[in-house]
Amino acid sequence: MLQETVQNVVDVINAGTYSDTFTAEVAWVPHTDNKDDDLKVFVWCDDANYNRETRCPDLKFSGTIKVAMRDRVNVDVQSDVTNKISLMQEIINQIGTVKTFAGGATFDSISWFTVYDNQALFEDSLFVSIFGMDIRSIV
């Protein structure tokens, strides 16, 4: 269920049309070389819970799926950062078009807790943005 749900999120993201070109990928350990200048979008599961409710004998899966974007930008050009924030919003909007993922999971909310990482931006000229989705499903 866990791997299938993460892959379903990747598939939904990759089915969208965006202002910049990328291919989202599953990355259980999202890691890149700071010399890599390509736009990257990673998806992974941050936490997972399985429990059995008293009225439902099936296991209920819930967890947090995270989506991160990383790209090199010119910090002196404000529109570079603004365009990446807009691209992340496009990804969030694409996910919002789906009521239920292929494996039956749904998302309750999206928390965009790192609109951009100041340290990465100013130290390495890297735009890094991360949001999390609260997912749930009956397995």
Cα torsion through 77, 36, 14, 63, rounded to 10: -100
For residues 31 and 113, the model is more confident at: 113
pLDDT band at 68 (very low <50, low <70, confident <90, very high): very high
- The continuous run of DSSP H or E covering 5 comes out as helix 2-14
Averaged pLDDT score across all residues of the chain = 88
For residues 4 and 130, the model is more confident at: 130
Half-sphere exposure at residue 19, Cβ-oriented, CA atoms within 13 angstroms: 12
Q: Report the pLDDT value the prediction gives residue 41, as an integer from 0 to 100.
A: 96
Q: How far is CA 35 from CA 31, 71, 76, in A?
A: 12, 11, 19
* % of the chain surpassing 70 pLDDT: 90
Q: Report the pLDDT value the prediction gives residue 59, as an integer from 0 to 100.
A: 67
Q: Report the pLDDT value the prediction gives residue 108, as an integer from 0 to 100.
A: 85
Is pLDDT of 69 > 90? Answer: yes
Measure the CA–CA gap between 139 and 133, rounded to whole angstroms: 18
Is pLDDT of 94 > 70? Answer: yes
pTM value is 0.89
